[in-house]
Copies of this chain bind each other. A is one copy, B any other.
């Protein structure tokens, strides 16, 4: 586990505790809130062309940064509640993806090996 992530999780735990949010922060509710924030992130891109999405203005980039933060903050809180190490889970998933998406079958697409 990364020390910086553990520090963020500890700060989030204290933040929620000071506000009495324990009863609201069930894993189910945190998963819903995370998906809502992910859609707010997508909202910034929904009418942009691919090219525009590569060249955000400073204002767009800052707004997108706040949404990325919101998604990450809920992800860290959910992981914390469930006792899941998100970085370790990500590393394991990359190994699974290496099997599921063989490099030599990807030309011209994103193709899962089913």
Contact = CB atoms under 8 A, between A and B. Distances in A.
A91 B12 CA distance: 10
Copies in the complex: 4
A101 B47 CA distance: 15
20 contacts: A15-B94, A15-B97, A19-B106, A24-B109, A26-B54, A28-B50, A29-B50, A31-B44, A33-B47, A35-B35, A35-B38, A36-B40, A36-B42, A37-B38, A39-B39, A47-B109, A68-B86, A70-B93, A72-B75, A72-B87
Interface of A: 2, 4-5, 8, 11-12, 15, 18-21, 24, 26-29, 31-50, 53-54, 56, 61, 64-66, 68-73, 75-76, 78-79, 81-82, 84, 86-87, 89-94, 96-98, 101, 103, 106-110
